[in-house]
Amino acid sequence: MMGRMKLILASRNRHKLEEIRTLFDLPGLELSSALDHPEIPDVEEDGKTFEANAIKKATALARATGGWALADDSGLEVDALGGAPGVYSARYAGEPVSYPANNAKLLKALEGAADRRARFRCVVALSSPSGKTRTVEGRCEGRIIHGIRGAQGFGYDPLFVPDGFDQTFAEMEAGAKNAISHRGRALQKARAAWHDFLMTDPAEWPAP
């Protein structure tokens, strides 16, 4: 009988884990998370790109556990701010991480700005036990409104209205957000690209 493929999710963010678990719910896949491995230290997210950070998180966890690991790195890019907060999205308003402080800082930075175009980006990296990786990326285009709306989700959700919708991410049901979000799209791509391969319970990526 085929063994159950084990995959560890690198996040400790419960909101993200919930979204990833929903979208990466493949039959035969046994998911655990970094929350189940408190002994493994978090890596410093000091990469200049979402891709570099996702790869760093996935490989660190894969090497530390000897298993396959999946990591995502994501953030918000605002055109009028030259792409900020970008890879600094989580700590935009400094430490400790505060979603309300980040939202307040973003609104202030955009005061009087006519161009409120923005996008969420998410890179998902899958690492083999030895630290070899593949990545996929998902994006969601939209705009930043003038005041927070909605109580669901996390982060910048109350300020982000995706193109083609009137509601913010924080006003949408989780399923509706997941269907069009950057993370949802990246995970759908990941699922399509890696599903058959993961179902074979591999020890390593095939040679390219």
Q: How many whole angstroms separate alpha carbon 34 and alpha carbon 2? A: 25
User: Counting contacts by CB under 6 A, is residue 154 touching ligand IMP?
Assistant: yes
Based on the residue annotation, tell me whether 73 is a catalytic residue of this protein: yes
Beta bridge partners of residue 134, listed in sequence order = 126
Contacts for 169-177: CB closer than 8 Å, 24+ residues apart: 174/18, 174/19, 174/22, 177/152, 177/153
| Of 5 and 85, CB closest to ligand IMP | 85
Number of residues that bind ligand IMP (CB under 6 A): 18
User: Counting contacts by CB under 6 A, is residue 183 touching ligand IMP?
Assistant: yes
Q: How many whole angstroms separate alpha carbon 98 and alpha carbon 54? A: 21
Which residue in 73, 157, 163, 166 is the catalytic one?
A: 73
| Of 17 and 199, CB closest to ligand IMP | 17
Near ligand IMP in 68-127, by CB under 6 A: 73-76, 89-90, 102, 120
Contact in structure between 159 and 168 (CB atoms under 8 Å): yes
What is the nearest approach in angstroms of ligand IMP to the Cβ of residue 153? 6
Q: How many whole angstroms separate alpha carbon 114 and alpha carbon 134? A: 38
Active-site residue set: 73
Name the site residues for ligand IMP (rule: CB under 6 A): 13, 45, 73-76, 89-90, 102, 120, 153-157, 169, 181, 183
